Structures are given as C-alpha cells and as structure tokens.
Structure 1
Amino acid sequence: MLRTEPAVNGRSLHKRFVVKASKQVVRALDGVSLDVPAGTLTALVGPDGAGKTTLLRLMAGLMRADEGELRVLGIDVSATPQAVQDRISYMPQRFGLYDDLSVQENLDLYADLHAVSAGQRRERYARLMEMTDLGRFTTRPAGKLSGGMKQKLGLACTLVRSPELLLLDEPTVGVDPLSRRELWQIVQQLVDDEKLSVIVSTAYLDEAERCSHVFVLQEGRLIAQGTPVEIQSHAQGMCFVAAPPKGEPPRLMQARLLDARQDIVDAVPQGGEVHFIRRQGADDAALGQLLAGARAEPVPPRLEDGFMMLLRAHQPAAPNVAPPAVESLAPAEGEPGEVVIEVKDLVRRFGDFVAVASTSFSVRRGEIFGLLGPNGAGKTTTFRMLCGLLPASGGQLRVAGVDLRHARAQARQRIGYVSQKFALYGNLTVRENLSFFGGAYGLRGKKLQERMDTVLRQFDLERELDAPSGQLPGGYRQRLAMATGLLHEPEILFLDEPTSGADPLARREFWRRITALAEGGTTIVITTHFMEEAEYCDRIVIQDAGKVLAIGTPREVRTQALDGEDHEKRIDMEQAFIGIVEKARKEEREKKNEKVAA
C-alpha cells in the first residue's frame, strides 16, 4: 500500500566532522530541511563535498545528526536506527561484493545476512535475475564481471529482501552508457511496479532529470528543490548553442567562453556545437568576439543549466577555472602533427580469451584521443598496453618513438599516467607526494623544486601543501594526481576515467586544463564513460568485444551512427555510442545464429 506520509522527513539537520590533521571543523550538513515523497524517485545533486553522502548515511542510520530531527518511514532514526535498517536497503558507492564468490554465492550471502527465507529467495531471485539479466552468470565469480555487471549484482544483493526505501549513493559511477541505461530501467521498474521509494545521489544531471523531485545541495546547505522542470527554469531564456568556425574544435570555443566569466555562466561542447549559458546583461559585442562570428541559437534549458545557475548564484566569486593553470603551461617539444603513437594489428590474449583483436590506429602530437567502449570492451586492456603496463600478445606498438614490445621502461620516462582510482599516498601531504614521485621520475634538487612550484601554481594547490592528500576533497585529489603525472613534463599524458564521479563544476575545470595542455603540444589519451567528454576529443575510437567499431572525429562517429538517416538530425555522442554498439552486437548475434542454423 502506498504510504501517504513522506518517506523521509528532516528538519534543521546539522552534521560536523573534525579533520584530524588540521583540527578544522567541517560542516557537512548545515541546517538542511527536506520532505521526500513516498513511492517516488528522488535525486540528491551537488558538487563534491556538498553533503549528499552524509545525508544518505544519516537516513540509513549509519550516522547520527549533531542537531535536528530526522524521521525515516515515520521512525526517529536517531532513536531507533535498527528499526529503520530493518525496512530499508542502502547501496553505498563502494558496495561490498566478494570477488572470489560467484554471483549466486554473493546473493545467498546477503540473503543470509538479512534472514530471507527459502521461499522468499526463490521468488525474489527469479525477479532479480530477470531484471538484471544476470541469470546466465550465476556461477561466474564476481571479480570476473564487468563494471556494469558488478553494479547490477550490487543492486541485486541490496534488493534480496523487499525494502520500503532504497538509498543509492552514485550507483552508476564508472559504468558505461549502456549499463547505466539498464540500471536506471531496473530502478524505474521498481518504482513503477512496487511503488518503492528511491533516493539516489548522482553526479550525472541527465540521470536526475528522470526523477520526480530534485534536491540541490552545496557546502552542506540545501539551496534549491523542486521538479526537474522547476530547477531548469532558473536558466530559462539564457541558454544558446553555437557552431565553432570551420576547422576549430568545439573545446576551443568553449575555453574562450569559460574564460569570459563576466558574460558567461557555463559552456560545454555538445553534438559538434557549444552549449552555453549567457549571463543577464552580457555585453553583445564582447560575446560576438568570443563566438568569432558564429550565430547563437536559443535553446530550452536542461536540468544541468539550472543546476549551474544555482551554483554560480550561491557562489558568485568562484572562478570557472584557475587562470594560472592556463597561462603557465610550457609547450611540449616536437613537431606539431607528427605521429607519437602508432598501433598496428595489436592483440592481447589471456589464455584462450582474446581481449583485444587486431586493433590499429595512430595518435598525433597535441591531439586529444579518446578510447571509448562498454565495460569489458577491451579499452582498459588497450590503454594499459599503450602505457607500457601490460605487454602485447601480438602486433606493433610504438609510443613516443619507442617500440613498447622491447623497451617499455624507456617509453615510461616519456609518458605521464593518471589512474582511475586515486593512486597517491593518502597519508603523505601534497608536498611529500610531489617530492616522492618527482624523485621516482629522476628529478632532483633545484630542478625538482622548480617543477613542484610550477605544477602547484598550475593546479592551484599552493594552499594545500601540508594537507594529507587522502583528506583532500575529490576535486583536489584529482588535481594532485594530474600535477604528479605532469611533474617530469611528459610528451604524452594517459588519463584513465579521470572524471569518474566528478560533478559538472569539477569536470569543467578539468577539461579547461586539458585543453590548455593540448594547445601546448602535450598529447592526451583518455578513457571516459561521460559521453559528453568525447566531444572534447579530436578523434575517438569505440571498441566492443575487443574490436574497433568506429574511429574518427566526433562528427564522423555521429555520422556513422546515423547510418544513412537524415544527416541534419542532431544526436549527441551518447546516442551515437549506444547506436553503434547495439548495432554491432545485433550483427554479431545474427552471425552466430546463422552459424548455428548451418
């Protein structure tokens, strides 16, 4: 039966934490009041450190508010947290699957923990296997699943019992667009069929658009709430798109617009154009110069536009980018346009399994090159071979003029690498991490200090010198990882899903810096699951099942996805990606069926 009272009711919630190293008090929640309707899909959005995870953990009874009142399903969660936990399910960002256990064994383990009876299990398992399409993989170890399948298994384990409220903390981080769509179909099905109340925190604003209600948090405060239409209305009449001059990548027009903070609120590449928000009272002549004569067409606002307007309004002094990072970049050595990565018939096998099959492409100096593909497609394996972290089983691979099949160590001196997971030493300070990794790259004395000073200035880390890196906010940890990867002035920078889980503000800042690096001649190779980020690339390759499905400029790939349809039709990169992958998979299934029939 559908509940009439709110699923969650909070009044004047405060939560503070003390940072051990500095003894500084951080206000994670600062007077938050909210009512979450029952039987609906609700989103929590906001920048890193806004308080989303803290709020979810309070709702789950894993923390207690310092002040205020919080009732979940009508229960005072501070007084009786176990009574709440018996009726809800909570999927944190790092859900605890057991890699050595099979899919079925993980499900059984969580069913045992929640005392789910044998009869309930039979009915529930059948429903979950149908929803997640994991029925074919019940004997596979969880550690051998792709990222998207792991998230679906985590969700299934969370749902082995029938909760009245489901809390999801960024469930699609690191998940490709196809798996992301499937996860959201599962969640929507639960809301529609079981009238389940679902609260989800997400860094993807297009996901929040699916929800019936959105709460916007910033620095622990609730700055707005309403339907997606109500949130996006904050940017009504201020959103435009413009096509860059012929031959200019959209990211360069976006960079000019972002730097014009007095006239522009936000700008992002989209479908070969640049989508931007103009400030009220912006100077027409100045805007005309920024657009280089391009015509700006008004477009309806998106939820992300309303979100950005709200953040800027509540933080008017915050810059879009850190100017020193753009101004102080040194140009990379070498001839512009020369080939610095050459891949021919690259193969990687793991036993009988072919992870990468006869892949060929090249990357030029100063190019931003994107490796895209679903989870388990082979792009991470390709990426690791390019970095010299994994030997190839066959084919030719040259990086920075070095044959990686014979001299991987030599090539690594000329490349920088930023991993998907924060790979620096969390107990060391910013200064200590830079000094340690600078020494590992062979930098000493005055040269090391000069490079440390430069990257600290470039990434605006000077005020964080003595802060333990593990206690930095997510955006600053990413800056430190980038600074460390660039200490030795590499010719090529490899970035493995560097913005996974980052909010739109952090992503804009990151790409402004990457644009500046590419303009200085640094070659960038990047993997990402944010398809809007493919629009920043000069060229991209889409892989699936170890094979190359598409390669070319973003425009060429979108044209391939249209496959003879009206080429004037506007599609974004996510639509193109899904279309190309689904078509290739359909063709592969048809080939297998023909072989079976023969």
Structure 2
Amino acid sequence: MDSPHGAAVTAEDFGLKGPRGWAFRGVRLDAPPGALIAIEGPSGSGRTCLLLALTGRMRASEGRAEVGGLRLPRQMAAVRRISALGPVPGVSELDPAFTVAEHLRERALLQRRYDGSLRALLHPRTERTAAARNRIDTALDTAGLDPANLPKAERTSVRDLERLEALRLSVALALIGRPRLLAVDDTDLKLSDAERAEAWELLRSVADSGTTVLAVCSQAPVGAITVRTATTATTVTSGTADITEADAADVSEPAEAPRATTEKTTDEKTTDEGTADAFAETGRA
C-alpha cells in the first residue's frame, strides 16, 4: 500500500480573533509535504486554535493559508476531508470506557461508511473486511502500537493505557483514514523526557512515511518547522529564519477561543454551533 502523500502547508498573515481579542495573528508558515510542524507555546496562547484553523475546523479572521493547495478559509470542508485529528482535548478524545478493539472497529466502520466509494461498497463482504483489517494493521504499525503487548491485548480499556500508549492509539485511529495532514494537540503533555522523545520519534516516523504532521507542544524538537505562539505575539521559525509578528492586540486578558464554524455551502455560508458540534464530522475528529 502506498504511503499517503503529505499536504504542503503555507500561511501568510494568518489570524483568528475571538470575543476578547486575537487568539493568534500574523502567522507566516511555509512547510513542504511530509514536514513535521511544531506549534510551540504555553497553554492559553492560541496554539490549539491555530491547529484547528489550519485543519479547517475553525474559521480564520484574516490573512490566508493553504493546505494541500486548498485555500483557507474558503475551502474549509475540503481541508477537513484531507486532514485528521489525533488527540485534541474536548474535541477528539478517546472514550475511556471503550477498549482498544472497540475504538479500532468503530473507526474502521465509520471510515467505510463515510469515506468509502460506491464501488468499494459493492465488493464482497470478505474483501471489504480484509481491506479494513489491512488499514487497521497499517495504521497500528505506523503508530508503533502492538495490541498484543497491552495488558489485555485488544480488550484493554483506554482508561488502562499509559499516556504514550493512548497517544499511539489516537494517532493510529487518525491514520486509518490515510490523511494527508495529521494534527495532534498537547503532544508532550504529562510525558517524561524519555516518553517525550518517543512521542516525537513517532511523529517523525509518520512524517517520514509521507503524511504531514502538525503538533502542538510546549517545547518543539530540534529540526521541526516551528511556529511559536504567545498571548500577544506569534513567532515562526522555518529553517534558520525567525519571523516575529507585531503586538497582536491590546487585550487586557487572554484571548478566548472563538466558536468553531461548520461549512454549509461552497459560497461559505456558515453557522456558529459551538466547538463540540463543529467537530462532529464523523470519522475525522
């Protein structure tokens, strides 16, 4: 099976404003397909909003961006179709009561239901089942998760997984859809130094396989294309060049995350539905 081809990600003066000010502003980015992009900054600095905006889950207020040649915010729905979310708290979290097998089975079924072609649905059931199993095995292998090594194998509940194991499962679930862009929030949260190194090794391997990776973190690894966020400024590091935006806004308190929007038609009519509803896109969020 061919590796998914990653999406190039570019942005110019990209910004998103909420009720209390700018979540982020002036972001400039130029990352090739298959890149590892780190969004670095303290909690509350707008880094998750930037991740969601670049994956078509939040509508930017100014500037422009492209993901895989698709323009944001004009083609948000199309960007959502080629991107997938790993763990994002409050948006795409694992269900602690589910087992690993239940999560994998559910994602495979949803993938086949919503992303499968009509021709594929006409194939014999045994062939469809084998194809789904192959997708799952490939995703698990890429994520470095072997269910056989878990306490109860695939019957292990999510609540019994270690933090790094849960991260690997979330990544595997996202990769079942063969996205061109994988987004992961809080990559290094609650990880030891050794576990943090393993997490970045995992994401580098995903990028090396051809999928562009966008990861939120408190400290970016060496060699990643890095976007640094703060409550009043955003710095982008690409290669050896550092670019710092001007003061984002005169805001007396941290910016509040804007409501996400769900694209309704190609002429960009949208409805504010709250963050949870905006990410109800089945099998992706």
How do 1:360-439 residues align onto structure 2 when only pairs under 5 Å count? none
Residue equivalent to 1:185: 201
* Residue identity in the other structure for 2:137: A
Q: Which has the larger radius of gyration?
A: 1
* Distance in 2 between residues matched to 1:16 and 1:113, nearest whole Å: 33
Residue equivalent to 1:542: none
Structure 1 residue ranges (4+ consecutive) displaced by more than 6 angstroms after TM superposition = 1-6
How do 1:503-514 residues align onto structure 2 when only pairs under 5 Å count? none
* Residue identity in the other structure for 1:219: T
Question: Are the aligned partners of 1:4 and 1:38 in contact in 2 as well (CA < 8 Å)?
Answer: yes
Structure with the higher fraction of residues in helix conformation: 1
TM-score by length of 2: 0.69
**Displacement of 1:5:** 10
Question: Are the aligned partners of 1:10 and 1:70 in contact in 2 as well (CA < 8 Å)?
Answer: yes
**Displacement of 1:174:** 1.4
Structure 1 4/175 Cα, relative in aligned 2: closer, same or farther at 3 Å? closer
Alignment of 1:215 onto 2:227: yes
* Residue identity in the other structure for 2:86: M
Structure 1 187/135 Cα, relative in aligned 2: closer, same or farther at 3 Å? farther
From 104, 108, 131, give the equivalent of 1:111. Answer: 108
Structure 1 35/221 Cα, relative in aligned 2: closer, same or farther at 3 Å? farther
Residue equivalent to 2:266: none
CA offsets per residue over residues 501-542 of structure 1, 9 Å max, x none?
xxxxxxxxxxxxxxxxxxxxxxxxxxxxxxxxxxxxxxxxxx
TM-score by length of 1: 0.35
- Decide which moves more: 105-114 or 173-182: 173-182
* Distance in 1 between residues matched to 2:43 and 2:32, nearest whole Å: 25
Residue equivalent to 1:197: 212
Question: Are the aligned partners of 1:32 and 1:220 in contact in 2 as well (CA < 8 Å)?
Answer: no
Alignment of 1:127 onto 2:124: no
From 88, 93, 97, give the equivalent of 1:96. Answer: 93
**Displacement of 1:220:** 5.4
Report % sequence identity.
22
Structure 1 186/96 Cα, relative in aligned 2: closer, same or farther at 3 Å? same
* Distance in 1 between residues matched to 2:71 and 2:82, nearest whole Å: 13
SS in 1 for 2:155: coil
SS in 1 for 2:103: helix
CA offsets per residue over residues 523-564 of structure 1, 9 Å max, x none?
xxxxxxxxxxxxxxxxxxxxxxxxxxxxxxxxxxxxxxxxxx
* Residue identity in the other structure for 1:67: E
Question: Are the aligned partners of 2:55 and 2:83 in contact in 1 as well (CA < 8 Å)?
Answer: yes
**Displacement of 1:179:** 3.4
**Displacement of 1:209:** 1.1
Residue equivalent to 1:155: 171
**Displacement of 1:139:** 1.0
* Residue identity in the other structure for 2:106: L
**Displacement of 1:3:** 10
Residue equivalent to 2:159: 143
Structure 1 6/55 Cα, relative in aligned 2: closer, same or farther at 3 Å? same
* Distance in 2 between residues matched to 1:11 and 1:2, nearest whole Å: 29
Question: Are the aligned partners of 1:2 and 1:39 in contact in 2 as well (CA < 8 Å)?
Answer: no
* Residue identity in the other structure for 2:227: F
From 32, 44, 53, give the equivalent of 2:39. Answer: 44
* Distance in 2 between residues matched to 1:105 and 1:5, nearest whole Å: 28
* Residue identity in the other structure for 2:93: G
Residue equivalent to 2:237: 225
* Distance in 1 between residues matched to 2:51 and 2:201, nearest whole Å: 22
Q: Higher relative CO (CA 8 A, sep ≥ 6), structure 1 or 2? A: 2
Residue equivalent to 2:12: 11
* Distance in 1 between residues matched to 2:241 and 2:83, nearest whole Å: 29
- Decide which moves more: 81-90 or 110-119: 110-119
Structure 1 6/220 Cα, relative in aligned 2: closer, same or farther at 3 Å? farther
Structure 1 174/72 Cα, relative in aligned 2: closer, same or farther at 3 Å? same
CA offsets per residue over residues 298-330 of structure 1, 9 Å max, x none?
xxxxxxxxxxxx89xx89xxxxxxxxxxxxxxx
* Distance in 2 between residues matched to 1:223 and 1:189, nearest whole Å: 26
Residue equivalent to 1:75: 70
Which runs of 5 or more residues in structure 1 are unaligned?
19-24, 232-309, 316-463, 474-598
**Displacement of 1:202:** 0.9
Alignment of 1:33 onto 2:34: no
* Residue identity in the other structure for 2:157: P
* Distance in 2 between residues matched to 1:6 and 1:146, nearest whole Å: 31
Structure 1 54/112 Cα, relative in aligned 2: closer, same or farther at 3 Å? same
Question: Are the aligned partners of 1:14 and 1:66 in contact in 2 as well (CA < 8 Å)?
Answer: yes
* Distance in 1 between residues matched to 2:210 and 2:31, nearest whole Å: 14
CA offsets per residue over residues 473-510 of structure 1, 9 Å max, x none?
9xxxxxxxxxxxxxxxxxxxxxxxxxxxxxxxxxxxxx
Residue equivalent to 1:482: none
SS in 2 for 1:171: coil
